[in-house]
Structure 1
Amino acid sequence: MFEEQIQMVDLHGQYLRFKEEIDEAMQAVIDGCAFINGPQVKTFAGHLAGYLQVPYVIPCGNGTDALQIALMALELQPGDEVILPAFTYIAAAEVVALLGLTPVLVDVDPRTFNIDPRKIEAAVSGRTKAIVAVHLFGQSCDMEPIMALADAYHLYVVEDNAQSIGADYTFSDGRVRKAGTIGHIGTTSFFPSKPLACYGDGGALMTSDEVLATRIRMIANHGQECKYHHKRIGCNSRLDTLQAAVLDVKLKHLEEFTEVRRQVASRYDEALSSCDSLIIPVRSTFSTHVYHQYTVQVKDGYRNALQHLLKEQGIPSMIYYPLPVHHQEAYRHISRISGCLDISARLCESVLSLPIHTEMSSEQQQYITDTLTKLK
């Protein structure tokens, strides 16, 4: 047993490393008492827009709100269909259902875990209005064919970039864009475990379309064009000033955080590539990887047993995700299934995410990999 407790994410260790900066930023908010829509929110939004190289960033309350606001801004109507992957966190399907839209589920690429562009076209019907591209675990979906298909069928594309902020997508002509800035609207989450994380809930939307940006701002602020004048149906979703202050500090270090995660992932790759019972994650040729998760596939139905054995050795792990969307009770009867979803179902039975974070020591990781290679 390793002498120190190993964690999936070491939030406290990261805080201690940047304590002085973070405390100073939070104290400035407390001193100013502008806890709602304080100046730090606008400052952070501007800095994030600069980092992503996108004209408009609109902060909001959380990543799920961001997805809902995005679909509301597209003015979709009940009964319209939205294509999304069957292997994903439930938020994308949840907001589709909440708005009276129909989730249309397609399978994913077994190597990258992301929606398979080759499966999307067969799912398009006369009611299809949008595609939600979920950039899972730290790397972008293959956006070039997705955007081409969307153009051909006049569909909107919403990017769920909650797990992959900072990833770079390279087009076939050499152009490079940040994940979340390629579709009509991008969304992200600042949940504490995310690559860019605050100390509570938080989220944001990004777009290059001025009309959509105006709608998004209004929707997130009760649909107000100006105070007490409500032009459209909206909601109350805003990023707290304290959280914006924390995020603005962390944004300065995001590239450093990403590089550390990549180094951890490379050490895993090297140590685990010879494990016959594991399939290590694939790095796409068209996207860099920020490794929100390091997710292996465990062969031969051994996943649950392996997780139990790791736990006995003091090594945490997580299953993202144990059920595909079409097997979730709430979505069985409201979703439309397109094609075979066997890959999504198989991944739910085989994926296992190992600890990866910015504070992981080489000794901790060595213990994890030594344990895994012994158990193979």
Structure 2
Amino acid sequence: MKVKFYTPVREYHEKKSEFDSAVLAVMEKGEFILGEEVLQLEKRVEEFTGAKYAIGVASGSDALTITADILGFKNGKEIITSPFTFFASVSCITRNGAKPVFVDIDEDTFNIDTGAIEEKITENTVGILPIHLFSQMANMDKIMEVSKKYNLKVLEDAAEAYGMRWTGDGEFARHSGTIGDFGIFSFFPTKTLGAYGDGGMIVTNSENLYNIAKSYRVHGATKKYHHKYVGYNSRLHTMQAAILLVKMKYIQESIEKRAIIAKWYDERLSNVESIKIPKIKFNQQPAFYVYNILSEKRDELASYLKENGVQTSIYYPRPLHLQECFQDLGYKKGDFPVAEKISQQILALPIFPQITENEVNYVCECIKKFYK
């Protein structure tokens, strides 16, 4: 049997007529740049997440770069974040000359250890950039408590977190990305809400930040050829918005199906002594964009699964403090031991709404055979 890590083809064939109609409608109208569908998607995202404002941009990476710029993450200022994340979470800080200050991760969740943030704050610190990864959000109660105490900006990297909701100590659940000053989502094809190309979204509850971000995506213009800011060229393509509008009709069903698949893995792998399943911590609603395990002999297991037709991925094989491009930050091996250890053990298994129970069974049987 062959089990792909992810494929969009099954979803496309399930809803082929809807996707084809959506794309052809854009072609018929010819409004490819910030067309009607982009505005419709922004409204749907606002409704689903509870954010007051949403701004469609070209990618999740662009969303991070734009919002980091607006929040003043530049010119030598310090921003506290995690070293165990995708490159864009930190490049958005360094791109304008700011300095990422890393905090190690929680061993159970792989998200930032929020109990260690406060000790890294200096007079030069202006913000915190939490990343909601690995099916769950970082401890936003603690992050917001610290940010208010020290008057820091909070940029939530929710690129992988569409559908995650945080209750914490509060009475009502709040969607990822809507708690800090800005939040961002990625619509990369593999994501829980994924386009058929690149795409991203910025969300905020501040009218002022919304107006600035809306201007930043079109070169900083407030109206055509009138530039208040030095912005960016980053607009969500109308055709991708049309595709995402189709997917938004089924997003809750998709999130629930991913949770069922995660439960299949939990049940079948819970007794395998050589692997560890991450815990969902705090009072929150997870969304299983990925399903990770910690595994003994990780690389050998990944090779064995590949030989038996199972595709896997590693998020992430090298923490950012050990990346060559960030050597000037002065970190060295051993500075963040939890992130370094997890990077050698973590392995992502196939999970997407159209995967079958038989395929999950096969993946789990292969894992059990390897360790036997």
After TM superposition, is the score higher than 0.5?
yes
**SS of the counterpart of 1:59?**
strand
Q: 1:212 aligns with which of 209, 228, 241?
A: 209
Q: TM-score, normalised by structure 1?
A: 0.96
1:343 corresponds to 2:338:
yes
Equivalent positions of 1:157-196 (< 5 A) are 157-196=154-193
Q: 1:97 aligns with which of 94, 97, 122?
A: 94
Report the alpha carbon displacement of residue 174 of structure 1 after superposing the two structures with TM.
2.2
Distance 1:350 1:166 in 2: 27
Partner of 2:276: 279
Report the alpha carbon displacement of residue 335 of structure 1 after superposing the two structures with TM.
5.9
1:334 corresponds to 2:329:
yes
1:365 corresponds to 2:360:
yes
- 1:142/1:286 contact within 8 Å kept: no
Equivalent positions of 1:70-81 (< 5 A) are 70-81=67-78
Q: Which one-letter code corresponds to 1:216 in the other structure?
A: A
Q: Which one-letter code corresponds to 2:366 in the other structure?
A: T
Report the alpha carbon displacement of residue 225 of structure 1 after superposing the two structures with TM.
1.1
Q: Which one-letter code corresponds to 2:212 in the other structure?
A: R
Equivalent positions of 1:166-315 (< 5 A) are 166-299=163-296, 302-315=297-310
Q: Which one-letter code corresponds to 1:354 in the other structure?
A: L
CA deviations 1:29-48 (Å, max 9, x no partner) are 00000011111110110111
Equivalent positions of 1:128-147 (< 5 A) are 128-147=125-144
Report the alpha carbon displacement of residue 287 of structure 1 after superposing the two structures with TM.
1.9
Distance 1:121 1:285 in 2: 20
Q: After alignment, is 226-235 or 277-286 more displaced?
A: 277-286
Partner of 2:115: 118
CA deviations 1:76-135 (Å, max 9, x no partner) are 440001111011111111111111100111111111111111011111111111111100
The percentage of counterpart residues that share the same residue type is: 35
CA deviations 1:328-375 (Å, max 9, x no partner) are 0001213668x9410000111110000011111111111111111122
Q: Which one-letter code corresponds to 1:328 in the other structure?
A: Q
Structure 1 unmatched runs, 5+: none
CA deviations 1:290-331 (Å, max 9, x no partner) are 1111000013xx111111111111111111111001100001
Partner of 1:325: 320
Distance 1:54 1:353 in 2: 30
Distance 2:172 2:153 in 1: 21
- 2:168/2:284 contact within 8 Å kept: no
Distance 2:221 2:331 in 1: 35
> What is the alpha-carbon root mean square deviation over aligned residues?
1.2
Partner of 1:149: 146
**SS of the counterpart of 1:108?**
coil
CA deviations 1:278-297 (Å, max 9, x no partner) are 00121223222211110000
Q: After alignment, is 366-375 or 322-331 more displaced?
A: 366-375
Equivalent positions of 1:32-43 (< 5 A) are 32-43=29-40
Equivalent positions of 1:55-66 (< 5 A) are 55-66=52-63
Q: CA 1:335–1:143 in 2, change beyond 3 Å: closer, same or farther?
A: farther
Equivalent positions of 1:8-19 (< 5 A) are 8-19=5-16
Distance 1:173 1:162 in 2: 23
- 2:82/2:103 contact within 8 Å kept: yes
Distance 2:330 2:357 in 1: 45
Distance 1:63 1:80 in 2: 23
Report the alpha carbon displacement of residue 138 of structure 1 after superposing the two structures with TM.
2.2
Structure 2 unmatched runs, 5+: none
Report the alpha carbon displacement of residue 171 of structure 1 after superposing the two structures with TM.
2.5
Distance 1:228 1:41 in 2: 22
**SS of the counterpart of 1:332?**
helix
* Pairs aligned (count): 370
Q: Which one-letter code corresponds to 2:322 in the other structure?
A: H
1:47 corresponds to 2:82:
no
Q: Which one-letter code corresponds to 1:333 in the other structure?
A: D
Report the alpha carbon displacement of residue 75 of structure 1 after superposing the two structures with TM.
3.0
CA deviations 1:134-175 (Å, max 9, x no partner) are 001221111001000000010011011111111111121322
**SS of the counterpart of 1:110?**
coil
Q: Which one-letter code corresponds to 2:72 in the other structure?
A: E
Q: CA 1:76–1:86 in 2, change beyond 3 Å: closer, same or farther?
A: closer
Report the alpha carbon displacement of residue 222 of structure 1 after superposing the two structures with TM.
0.3
Q: After alignment, is 280-289 or 311-320 more displaced?
A: 280-289
Q: Which one-letter code corresponds to 1:349 in the other structure?
A: Q
Distance 1:252 1:336 in 2: 45
